[in-house]
Amino acid sequence: MNLKKKILLGYGILLAIMGIAIAWSIWHLVVLSNASSEILKENYRSIIAAENMIDSIERQDSAILLAIIGFPQEGKSQFSAHDLSFIQWLTRAKDNITITGEAETVALITESYSSFRDSYLNILQKIEQSKVDIKEHGPLYKKDLLPRFLTVREACEKLRKMNEETMYAASQRASSIAGYAIWSTGLVAFLVLITSLLSGSVLVERIVEPLRKFVEATRQIASGHYDIEVSSTENVASEIALLSQEFNSMALQLKQFHELNFEKILEEKRKNEAVLSSIKDGLIVLSQELNVVGINLAAREILGFEFSDCLNREYKDILPEKVSRLLETESNLFEEKESTKTEQNVFTIHKGDKTRHFLFSITMIPGLKEEKSGYVILFKDVTDFREIEKLKDEFISAASHELRTPLTSIKMSLSLLKEKSETKLNEKEKELLQITDEEISRMKALVDDLLDLSKIEAGKIEMEFTGVEIKPLITHAEKIFRSQLEQLKASMKIEIPDDLAKVRADSNKITWVITNLISNALRYIPKNGLISIRAEESNNFVTISVKDNGKGIPLEYQSKIFQKFARVNENESSGTGLGLAICKEIIRAHGGTIWVDSAPGKGSCFYFTIPVM
């Protein structure tokens, strides 16, 4: 074998080694491209699923807030729609588990969402059945729903972050392996000859350049820049070209999803503005700093301002003084108690010879991290109701006053008739006379109660406020009903602390309230029944409760029993139906409140509060 052949053979061997090295490098890059493409696809699907689950859970949280502020059906409908979306994306996430720790995260999302959903359904059921007062909606939301919502959202964000990091790591691995291929190919080419090295380097550079673009593009996407596209040429491997197409498709979909979020936010904003405009009652939205950020047409007409005159102004500049004072008081209470609370009151606006009355309510808007985000003030025109109520009260007062004198005369006449005709009437006639006398007495009691109630409502009844001890009043009431308790073989349990503070009250009026509540309890307890009376001090008020073990009050009647002529049993003949209405007005005149807690078959408990001295 001559030198030429040896050189050609050696050169051929070197070229073969270089060709093998180049072929190995190309094969490695092709495998890397396929693997990277699959990893990016799988991670992309998981990222999309996580983003959609976050969007769905946030919409469900908005639906819950909608139900809490008084729109349970709308909130329920919105929650159900996004519930299906969340479950669909969660199923896709379960079917696309590819990285370490992803299965545990998906399991956490499944468990947390189930707890969140069950808690929502439980609270919704209470709201629909009116088992929870609207004042307690906010604390229930913060206690039960908000922590679960945050847990689900954080788990979804963790799933998204895991897949983003995996995408980034895959790109880093691709870059590292590509660099290794470059240097190994370059080393072999250098040993063969400079020309082979240069040609091999050019070839490798053409293959690796798209991967570098992928790395840089991935970093840009991770930074939130979605307007990016990786270009490819016809000379690169088909797998690299396919990867470029898939990568560009992923970037485009991420961009569209990002823009879609902004569109949804704008859409929600337009919906809120439409809702504000459609409400016939006046509505004002205040920021956390008590500046006006939203006001509808009805509120502007009530207050006499243009839209541009109201927006971003301080509440004192546009609200009536009474509303401003209550808002200042309530904002301080919200700061101290860190809970949602609503207070209602009435203010009057005079325009020329017209007077209009508005019932207003102030509601705190809860935000994230247990902080308030603002307030909503609602104005409702109650002028017609006030006028009707005034006419009704005047009619009842006048009619009652006119009936008192003839009823008294009829009562006296019947008493004289009973005395003088005792021996002249048969048993049937005596029975009819007795029934007539009892009905006249009941009618007279009704008229007296109506007059008392009218005086209390009009503020004409005299109140003698002094420092009063509660225990003697309750002991006196117990003595009054002792004989009735003995007839029913019932007992009365009194629990009053010896150091209970004195209250600012009219002792006669408070005694009337206590005896009325005890009388009602005696009417409904069974034989051998029990009446419990307790008193305790809290927050500058003394709370007194009268509890019985009777048949209880149905839920649908509990909001009506303090109204005039309200009866739980329509067939009941005893009583005038005004006792609890008078109790309510007396307690309100003392600056306290009265309410009932009852369940059918479990008895009733009436509470009322009186301020301490």
DSSP-assigned letters across all residues of 259-304: HHHHHHHHHHHHHHHHHHHH-SSEEEEEETTSBEEEE-HHHHHHHT
pLDDT, average across residues 27-41:
64
DSSP-assigned letters across all residues of 438-475: HHHHHHHHHHHHHHHHHHHHHT-S----EEE-HHHHHH
Return the top range by mean pLDDT from 30-34, 155-159, 313-317: 155-159
Last residue of a domain, one of 358, 381, 404: 381
Residue 440, domain member (yes or no): yes
DSSP state of 610: E
Residue 9, domain member (yes or no): no
State the average pLDDT for the chain. Answer: 76
Report d(CA 77, CA 48) in Å as an integer.
Answer: 25
The pLDDT of residue 497: 92
The amino acid sitting at 264 is K
Report d(CA 91, CA 112) in Å as an integer.
Answer: 15
The pLDDT of residue 206: 61
User: With 80 as the cut, is the pLDDT of residue 451 above it?
Assistant: no
Report d(CA 114, CA 99) in Å as an integer.
Answer: 24
User: With 70 as the cut, is the pLDDT of residue 475 above it?
Assistant: yes
Do 547 and 474 share a structural domain? yes
Structural tokens at position 297: 């047409």
Do 410 and 367 share a structural domain? no
pLDDT, average across residues 461-489:
88
Structural tokens at position 175: 């870059």
pLDDT, average across residues 198-209:
60
State percent of the chain over pLDDT 90: 11
**3-state secondary structure at position 422:** coil
Long-range contacts (CB closer than 8 Å, 24 or more residues apart) made by 382-389: 382/346, 382/357, 382/358, 383/355, 383/356, 383/357, 386/346, 386/357
The pLDDT of residue 394: 62
Phi, psi for 293 (deg, rounded to 5): -115, -10
Do 218 and 95 share a structural domain? yes
Last residue of a domain, one of 458, 475, 497: 458
Neighbours of 66 (CB within 10 A): 18
Do 253 and 112 share a structural domain? yes
The pLDDT of residue 195: 64
pLDDT, average across residues 567-594:
75
Using alpha carbons, list the distances in angstroms from residue 290 to 294, 336, 347, 411, 466: 11, 17, 20, 62, 40
CB 490 within 8 A of CB 529: yes
Do 392 and 298 share a structural domain? no
Instruction: Give the β-pairing of 530-538 and 491-495.
Output: parallel
Do 184 and 145 share a structural domain? yes
Number of domains in the chain: 4
What is the signed CA dihedral for 312, 315, 318, 323, rounded to 10 degrees? 150
Long-range contacts (CB closer than 8 Å, 24 or more residues apart) made by 480-489: 480/515, 481/515, 481/518, 481/519, 481/522, 484/522, 485/522, 485/531, 488/522, 488/525, 488/527, 488/528, 488/529, 489/527, 489/528
Report d(CA 169, CA 602) in Å as an integer.
Answer: 65
CATH classification at residue 598: 3.30.565.10
Do 336 and 220 share a structural domain? no
> What ranges in 542-604 are assigned the alpha helix state H?
555-558, 579-589
Neighbours of 323 (CB within 10 A): 21
Structural tokens at position 18: 């270089």
Range of the domain at 52: 18-261
CB 149 within 8 A of CB 63: no
Residue among 105, 113, 107, 111 nearest 145 (CA): 113
Residue with token string 């005086």: 455
Do 90 and 190 share a structural domain? yes
DSSP collapsed to 3 states, 83-116: HHHHHHHHHHHHCCCCCCCHHHHHHHHHHHHHHH
Do 322 and 401 share a structural domain? no
The pLDDT of residue 332: 54
Residue 2, domain member (yes or no): no
Residue 236, domain member (yes or no): yes
CATH classification at residue 434: 1.10.287.130
Residue with token string 């109204």: 563
Rg of the chain, C-alpha, whole Å: 40
The more confidently predicted of residues 296 and 369 is 296
Last residue of a domain, one of 342, 357, 381: 381
DSSP-assigned letters across all residues of 130-141: T-S-GGGHHHHI
The pLDDT of residue 335: 45
The pLDDT of residue 25: 64
Q: In the beta sheet, which residues pair with residue 612?
A: 503
CB 466 within 8 A of CB 576: no
Residue 407, domain member (yes or no): yes
Count of alpha carbons within 13 angstroms of residue 170, beta-carbon side: 25
User: With 90 as the cut, is the pLDDT of residue 582 above it?
Assistant: no
Residue among 496, 597, 485, 481 nearest 543 (CA): 496
Residue 273, domain member (yes or no): no
Report d(CA 610, CA 593) in Å as an integer.
Answer: 8
Long-range contacts (CB closer than 8 Å, 24 or more residues apart) made by 94-100: 96/42, 96/45, 96/46, 96/49, 98/39, 98/42, 98/43, 98/46, 99/43, 99/162, 99/163, 99/166
Do 157 and 30 share a structural domain? yes
Do 66 and 40 share a structural domain? yes
pLDDT, average across residues 344-363:
76
Residue with token string 């207003």: 360
User: With 60 as the cut, is the pLDDT of residue 463 above it?
Assistant: yes
Residue 313, domain member (yes or no): yes
Residue among 505, 506, 500, 510 nearest 538 (CA): 500
**pTM, rounded to two decimals:** 0.38
Residue 423, domain member (yes or no): yes
State pLDDT tens for residues 14-29: 667 667 766 766 666 6
State pLDDT tens for residues 529-563: 999 999 999 889 999 999 999 989 888 888 788 87
Do 404 and 535 share a structural domain? no
For residue 395, how far is the Cα from the chain centroid? 43
